[in-house]
């Protein structure tokens, strides 16, 4: 952890040579001269007197050199302190996550977290949003990663990602060839419903209300608790369903699943990291909470 420009300047002063300083950090003499010139332009004062082969710092150059050495030493101390802190982050981390998040988002997050904090032992519970919130309230997990509307007042939450909800059908379903589907299409198509308690079920019920409909108004042919199983049933032609776009990236690419176009705008919801009170109670949980909040997810679509 250091500022390469400051390091380059200090080497030039100490070695009294652009070429030797460049060799020390594997850059050319011209590149080293360019680095120093950029520093001088940025600061607005000459740092090095170049007289023939002699390299002599100006008074401002000596001041800049002394301060640069202090900054580089501070970088070194900071790096050592951070490495020490990382080694202190150890112990169990009890997480709960909804199935979609556990299958499609967490693998990349947990890989990177475990790589940075190898002394943390992760225990993951996978269930629907309602069950994960109950586990959190009972103290069985440190953090939950869920979707849906979290209405418990004692729970703090932070958004970590957006999720697009899409209405899907098999590629052989007649609706797959329509430009947009209508409210009547909902009434006469067999519908595969996610289980009660899931964030997706709640989302669907809220969406139906915007159409002035209820679950009893549509032809529910099946209720399932697994998003991948819902996708497989849709592929087989049993019915249509709403799912997270994360779950159908591959089937859409393969052409076995078609996304049905709804009138109006696209449907989105949020993924959240949740904990009791204002912040997690352990250092390990606090570290993961911040890690996933700052994480940049790779989105394949």
- Per-residue pLDDT at 300: 64
> Which CATH code is given to the segment(s) 91-301?
3.40.190.290
Per-residue pLDDT of the chain (301 residues; tens, 9 = 90+): 567 889 889 988 988 888 888 888 778 888 888 888 999 999 899 999 887 677 889 999 899 999 999 998 888 888 777 767 777 788 899 999 999 999 999 999 999 999 999 989 999 999 988 899 999 998 899 999 998 778 787 898 999 998 999 999 999 999 888 878 887 887 788 999 999 888 889 888 888 888 888 888 888 999 998 889 999 999 999 999 999 999 998 899 899 999 998 877 778 889 999 998 778 888 899 999 999 999 988 766 5
Residues of the chain with CATH 3.40.190.290: 91-301
Q: Residue 83 has what pLDDT? A: 65
Give the pLDDT of residue 131: 92
What pTM value is reported for the model? 0.66
> Quick one: fold of 4-88?
Arc Repressor Mutant, subunit A (1.10.10)
* Predicted pLDDT at 111: 95
Domain with CATH 1.10.10.10 in the chain: 4-88
Predicted local confidence at residue 75, as pLDDT: 85
Looking at residue 283, its pLDDT comes to: 87
> Can you give the pLDDT at residue 2?
60
The whole-number pLDDT of residue 267 equals 87
Residue 81: the pLDDT is 76
Strand partners, 159: 272
């Amino acid at each position: 952890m250091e500022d390469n420009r400051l390091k380059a300047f200090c080497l030039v002063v100490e070695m009294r040579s652009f070429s030797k300083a460049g060799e020390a950090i594997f850059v050319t003499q011209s590149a080293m001269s360019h680095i120093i010139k950029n520093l001088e332009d940025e600061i607005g004062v000459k740092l090095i007197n170049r007289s023939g082969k002699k390299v002599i710092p100006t008074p401002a150059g000596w001041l800049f050199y002394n301060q640069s050495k202090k900054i580089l030493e501070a970088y070194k101390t900071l790096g050592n302190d951070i490495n020490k802190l990382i080694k202190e982050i150890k112990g169990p981390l009890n997480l709960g996550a909804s199935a979609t998040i556990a299958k499609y988002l967490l693998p990349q997050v947990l890989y990177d977290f475990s790589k940075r904090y190898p002394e943390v032992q992760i225990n993951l519970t996978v269930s629907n949003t309602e069950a994960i919130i109950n586990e959190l309230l009972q103290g069985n997990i440190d953090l939950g990663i869920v979707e849906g509307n979290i209405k418990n007042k004692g729970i703090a939450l932070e958004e970590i990602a957006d999720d697009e909800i899409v209405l899907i059908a098999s590629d052989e379903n007649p609706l797959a060839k329509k430009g947009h589907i209508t409210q009547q299409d909902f009434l006469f198509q067999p519908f595969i419903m996610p289980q009660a308690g899931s964030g997706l079920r709640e989302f669907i019920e809220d969406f139906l209300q915007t159409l002035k409909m209820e679950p009893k108004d549509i032809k529910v042919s099946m209720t399932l608790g697994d998003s991948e199983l819902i996708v497989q049933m849709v592929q087989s032609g049993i019915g249509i369903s709403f799912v997270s776009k994360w779950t159908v990236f591959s089937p859409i690419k393969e052409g076995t699943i078609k996304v049905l176009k709804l009138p109006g705008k696209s449907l989105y919801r949020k993924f959240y990291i949740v904990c009791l009170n204002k912040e997690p109670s352990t250092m390990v949980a606090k570290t993961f909470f911040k890690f996933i909040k700052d994480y940049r997810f790779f989105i394949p679509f």
